[in-house]
Amino acid sequence: MSLPQQLRDESDFDQLPHNIPVSATIADTEEKKGFIYYFRFVIEVKTRGGSKYLIYRRYREFFNLHQILESKYSPENPDKPGPNTCILPPLPGKVFIGNKQEIAESRIPELNTYMKRLLGLPTWFLLDEDLRMFFYQTDQDTQQQPRALRRLRPPTRKVKTDKPKMDLFSSPRAEAMFDFRGNGKEELKLKRGEVIFLLRRVNTDWLEGTVNNQTGIFPESFVKIIKPLPESDSEGEGGGHTYSCLRCFLLTPSGVETRDVCVQEDLTIQPTYKDLLSRMRNVFKMDDVALNYRDPEGDLIRILDDEDIQLMIKESRRQEGKVNRPVNQFPWELYATISSDFSVYNTEA
C-alpha cells in the first residue's frame, strides 16, 4: 500500500463513529437448551471509541450475515473488483453430523480469523448496516449472564482444594419409587430404589437433584421424599433455570403414548416449526413423524410451517379458561403421528 493511500485510510478510520465495531474475539461457547438445544458463541466486541461489550451469536447468524454481505459486495469477477465491491474472507462451512459442542469448539479459531479479516476490510465497509447490526449489543444480549469466558482469562495456576464432604443424613433427599428414563439431557434418569439428593424445587410438580454424579430434573410423583428441601428452595429461590412443561402425544395404530417434556423456555414463547419437529423426533425416537394439534371441535389439524404454529397457539390461548392445566404447562399440546397415517387418526377423532 502506498503512503498516500495509507494516510487516507487512517484519516477515514479516525472519522468513524465511536460505536463502530473494530475487533471481535470469541470468549467462550455456551449451550442453550430449549425446544432444540444448540451452542452459541460469546463474543467480546471492541468499538472505535474503546468500549467493550459481549454479544451472543449462533453459527447460522454468521452464515446469514455472510450471505447478505456476499450479495451486496462480492464482485462478479474476483480478478477485477469494482469501487463498491470487496473480496470477503471465507466463512467455515456448515457441518451436519457430529457432536455439537465439539463442532462449536473447533470453529472458534476459524471464526476469530473470519471476524478479524471482516473488520479489517476498507473503512467504508465497516459502515454497512447489516454488519453493524450483527455486532450491535441488543437488549437480549445485555440480559445474558456469561458463565465462564474461558478464552478471555489469563492462564492461572490450578489450586487444589478439598471438596467438603456431603452429610448424607442431613441433606434433603428422596428415594425413587419407579424407574424414570427422562426425555432429554436436562432430565435425570432414575432407577427404583436410588437415593436422590435434592437441590431445589423447579415448580409444583418437578424437582432438581443429583444421583450417580448426574444432575437434572425429575417429576416429584416418581419419588418418596425422605427429607424435604428448606422453605426457600422449595419456593424456587435457588437461582436455577425456570422450566416449562409441554404435553405431547404419539398416536400409533397400537395406541397413544403420552410424554411430558420439560424445556428451559418461558410459557409465552412461540417456537419454530423446525425446532418442534426436531424435538418430537428426538422425544419419540422416530424420524417419520408429523406435527398436529386439535382444534376446539376436536379435529386433528396438520402443522406444516411457522404460521400453523402461530394459529395453534392463538386457538389454545382462547381455550385457556376452559381447560385446567398446571401453572407451568404450555397452553397448547402437540400430537405426533406417523406421516402416512394422518387420515386414519383424523377419521377416528
DSSP output for 302-322: EE-SHHHHHHHHHHHHHTGGG
Cα diameter, the chain? 80
* Grid cell of 2 as nine digits: 502506498
User: Residue 9 has what pLDDT?
Assistant: 54
User: Residue 348 has what pLDDT?
Assistant: 44
User: Residue 8 has what pLDDT?
Assistant: 44
User: Residue 327 has what pLDDT?
Assistant: 61
Q: At 132, is the secondary structure helix, strand, or coil?
A: helix
User: Residue 313 has what pLDDT?
Assistant: 87
User: Residue 112 has what pLDDT?
Assistant: 92
Q: Which of 154, 151, 206 is nearest to 183 (CA)?
A: 206
User: Residue 134 has what pLDDT?
Assistant: 95
Residues of the chain with pLDDT below 50 are 1-8, 153-167, 235-239, 344, 347-349
User: Residue 291 has what pLDDT?
Assistant: 92
Strand order in the sheet with 21-32: 21-32, 38-47, 52-57
**Strand 38-47 vs strand 173-176: parallel, antiparallel, or unpaired?**
unpaired
* Grid cell of 165 as nine digits: 464432604
User: Residue 260 has what pLDDT?
Assistant: 74
User: Residue 166 has what pLDDT?
Assistant: 47
182's torsion region: left (phi>0), alpha (psi -120 to 50) or beta? left
The count of other CB atoms within 10 Å of the CB of residue 276 is 21
In sequence order, what are the beta bridge partners of 34? Answer: none
d(CA 138, CA 142): 7
Q: What is the pTM of this model?
A: 0.52
User: Residue 241 has what pLDDT?
Assistant: 54
* Grid cell of 327 as nine digits: 401453572
The count of other CB atoms within 10 Å of the CB of residue 28 is 20
